[in-house]
């Protein structure tokens, strides 16, 4: 039997069960959740008590992520795990070079493909075995994960769809996410991804090793802005009491393992805790920026961070560039030419699709200190613009996300040799027109900012 009264929560839903890092709870049957303790001798309704600890026991209270689950059968009712060969998943990259790399949207599958079978590792930095690093995977799927579930023992995860909606079934309940949403999945939590609408879907699966995601400190921004904790939506408990043959996939040390189970893993009747799947609608991100002059760093658009013990040296920062107004005066408003210490990976998750890197489904990778910048055409348009002093709305319906990491990413064979790679991408920023004139004016009168002495 199953709890059919609970529906899938959606990113952006006005739900009472919200809050990033908060102590949340839900029960699919009234009275299933113990009220005064975590582990009573006899749990309500004959349920089994199980704790999911996504972080080590001795981390600080603010960083600790754990949940208590009250389920029909314990998770120990599975067989031994055995390695599963997978042509797309990899624990390591094989190509580390300081060159720009870009990829067009990956084609959607023509045959029935579920989430596990449609995974391909893009790049890896660090090591899952050493619990220090990050991995980026791409997925395509056109079929539900029937009697299959997956968990990552390696790290906390983000799912970022860019094509169609997905229902993600977890031990905590169901969540629906689509392009422009992000789903945080705790380390060790089991889930299954099912495409909605009977069509093929695509997106990104990101794992961070040895760290968990947190809302970044706002610092001088103050108490408001960026991502709000209350906009992260948790699922309502929904259980399935269903004996039968299941396969539990376990991603461990970068490789895939599987064990047989005699029942559905989605049999949690009630839960409470802080290690909880959370969906977030990126359109709710409240950006801040320069309103006088000059171009701010992309770090002001950080949604989530996975920090290390070294301040500012993060395993990963998830950044979003949403549609917004730009009001900077006397400023080159496009991203300037840049070399930096971090590795950047960019993907476009909403907007029109075409056979181009800069369209929905496209992505590109910038290694540390590799020069990058805008195209010559964009440079000319920016320098010849007649409305450069007017507020400008940035965004044509496309949402870009960026992952920054201090790890150097190594690209896998499967992704570097993919037929959708744009082999000419490294030249996109080349060919800028030289304007240098020796002995020319030190500055143009148009560069004088009102109220600011030259």
User: What spatial distance separates the first Cα and last Cα of the chain, rounded to whole Å?
Assistant: 75
Dist. CA 74–CA 144, nearest whole Å: 24
The two beta strands, 82-83 and 9-10, are unpaired
Beta bridge partners of 411: 95, 123
Q: So which residues are the catalytic ones?
A: 295
User: In 3D, which of 178, 260, 238 has the Cα closest to residue 13?
Assistant: 178
SS3 for the chain is CECCCCCCEECCCCCCCECCCCCEEEECCCCCCCCCCCCCCCCHHHCEEEEEECCCCCCCCCCCCEEEEEECCCCCCECCCEECCCCCCCCCCCECCCCCEEECCCCCCCCCCCCCCCEEEEEEEEECCCCEEEEEEEEEECCCCCCEEEEECCCEEEEEEEECCEEEEECCEEEEECCCEEEEECCCCCEEEEECCCCCEEEEEEEEECCCCECCCCHHHCCCCECCHHHCECCCCCCECCEEEEEEEEEECCEEEEEEEEECCCCEEEEEECCCCEEEEHHHCECCCCCCECCCCHHHHEEEEECCCCCCCCCEEEEEECCEEECCECCCCCCCCECCCCEEEEEEEECCCCCCCCCCCCEEEECCCCCECCCHHHHHHHHCCCCCCCCEEECCCCEEEEEEECCCCEECHHHHCCCCEECCHHHCCCCCCCCCCCCCCCCCHHHCCCCCCC
Dist. CA 378–CA 135, nearest whole Å: 32
Per-residue tokens: 275:
């290690």
């Amino acid at each position: 039997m199953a709890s059919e009264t609970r529906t899938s929560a959606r990113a952006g839903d006005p739900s009472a069960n919200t809050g990033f890092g908060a102590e949340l709870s839900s029960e699919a049957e009234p009275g299933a959740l113990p009220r005064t303790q975590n582990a009573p001798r006899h749990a309500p309704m004959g349920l089994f008590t199980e704790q999911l600890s996504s972080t080590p026991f001795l981390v600080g209270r603010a960083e600790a992520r754990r949940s208590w689950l009250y389920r029909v059968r314990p998770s120990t009712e599975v067989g031994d795990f055995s390695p599963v060969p997978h042509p797309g998943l990899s624990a390591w990259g094989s190509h580390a070079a300081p060159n720009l790399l870009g990829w067009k949207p990956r084609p959607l599958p023509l045959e029935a493909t579920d989430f596990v079978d449609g995974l391909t590792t893009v790049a890896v930095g660090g090591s899952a075995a050493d619990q220090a690093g990050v991995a980026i995977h791409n997925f395509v799927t056109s079929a539900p994960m029937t009697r299959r579930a997956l968990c990552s023992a390696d790290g906390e995860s983000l799912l970022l769809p860019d094509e169609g909606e997905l229902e993600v079934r977890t031990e905590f309940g169901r969540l629906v996410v689509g392009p422009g949403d992000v789903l945080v999945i705790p380390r060790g939590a089991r889930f299954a991804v099912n495409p909605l609408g009977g069509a093929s879907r695509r997106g990104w699966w990101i794992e961070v090793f040895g760290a968990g995601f947190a809302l970044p400190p706002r610092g001088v921004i103050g108490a408001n802005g960026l991502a709000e904790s209350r906009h992260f939506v948790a699922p309502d408990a929904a259980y399935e009491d269903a004996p039968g043959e299941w396969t539990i996939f376990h991603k461990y040390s970068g490789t895939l393992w599987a064990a047989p189970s005699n029942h559905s893993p989605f049999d949690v009747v009630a839960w409470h805790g802080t290690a909880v799947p959370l969906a977030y609608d990126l359109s709710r991100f409240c950006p801040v920026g320069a309103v006088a002059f000059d171009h701010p760093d992309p770090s002001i658009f950080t949604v989530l961070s996975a920090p290390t013990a070294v301040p500012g040296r993060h395993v990963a920062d998830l950044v979003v560039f949403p549609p917004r107004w730009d009001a900077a005066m006397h400023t080159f408003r496009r991203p300037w030419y840049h070399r930096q210490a971090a590795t950047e990976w960019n993907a476009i998750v909403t907007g029109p699709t075409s056979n181009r890197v800069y369209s929905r489904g496209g992505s590109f990778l910038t290694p540390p200190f590799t020069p990058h910048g805008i195209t010559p055409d964009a440079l000319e348009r920016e320098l010849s613009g007649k409305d450069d002093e007017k507020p400008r709305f940035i965004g044509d319906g496309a949402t870009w996300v960026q992952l920054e990491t201090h790890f150097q990413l190594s690209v896998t064979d499967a992704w570097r040799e993919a037929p959708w790679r744009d082999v000419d991408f490294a030249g996109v920023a080349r060919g800028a027109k030289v304007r240098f004139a020796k002995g020319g004016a030190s500055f143009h009168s148009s560069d004088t900012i009102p109220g600011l002495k030259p």
